Amino acid sequence: MPWMEQFEPANWAEAGWIALGAYALGCFTTGYYLVRMWTGQDLRELGSGNVGAKNVGRVLGKTGFFLTLLADFGKGAFTIWAARHFTTDPRAVAVAALAVVAGHIWPVQLLFRGGKGMATSLGALLIFDYHFAGVFLLIFTAGFGLLRKTVLPGLFAFACLPLVCLYLDPNPARTFGISMLALFVVFAHRKNLFDEFFIFLERHNLHHPSK
């Protein structure tokens, strides 16, 4: 089969409805609604302004953190499980994974100010192909052991997944989907990357602001 044909869904209508449902589920940003329900405040105006578990933890403590983390992870996993009940086309399932993460990062009802997609992506990956979740965990654990940080090792692990996909199953459509998923997550964390970059420069006296 020519490699371009692998990018053509067998049924555009089916894939479209699955993607729409996945995006809608992704838009249910648990952390935002928990904080709104318990405090009446807009989480986007508190802390980092992010609606993910870490910022929820700053406002609601450990309970809010873990509830948000589990819900965000769960909606990614549920989306892939549900998609496989509506289609046998793995390409449409991959589209569902991208859509639920896009909904979490850019929820339409919150004016596209959502979370960063890491937990939702991991939930989707676990059901899509547990090998990816396993490799992510190994790379992340090694990075955390070296840096004692979570964000940078997590982003590096996500960035490695397209290479892992090429090694495990050199399928262009599958690799494209995993690459886009990794790109979504890394792009959503771009501020973290810039912050870490400037911290590195300052620690090594390489950052000289203009006078």
pLDDT in tens, 57-99: 999 999 999 999 999 999 999 999 999 998 888 889 999 999 9
| Res. 200 pLDDT band, cuts 50 70 90 | low
Taken in order 71, 76, 81, 84, the sign of the CA dihedral is positive
| Residue 209 resides in a domain | no
Q: Are 104 and 120 in contact (CB under 8 A)?
A: yes
| Res. 30 pLDDT band, cuts 50 70 90 | very high
| Residue 210 resides in a domain | no
**Distance between CA 142 and CA 160 in Å, rounded?**
13
| Residue 42 resides in a domain | yes
| Res. 3 pLDDT band, cuts 50 70 90 | very low
| Residue 4 resides in a domain | no
- What domain range includes position 36? 11-203
| Mean pLDDT for the stretch of residues 37-48 | 91
| Residue 99 resides in a domain | yes
| Res. 14 pLDDT band, cuts 50 70 90 | confident
Is pLDDT of 183 > 70?
Answer: yes
| Residue 2 resides in a domain | no
| Res. 187 pLDDT band, cuts 50 70 90 | very high
Q: Which amino acid is at 206?
A: L
Percent of the chain with pLDDT over 90: 59
- Count of domains for the chain: 1
**Distance between CA 133 and CA 45 in Å, rounded?**
32
| Res. 9 pLDDT band, cuts 50 70 90 | very low
| Residue 67 resides in a domain | yes
| Residue 211 resides in a domain | no
Q: Which of 179, 177, 185 is nearest to 162 (CA)?
A: 179
pLDDT of residue 193: 72
Q: Which of 137, 143, 107, 112 is nearest to 30 (CA)?
A: 107
Cβ-based neighbours of 146, under 8 Å, separated by 6 or more? 153
**Distance between CA 130 and CA 133 in Å, rounded?**
5
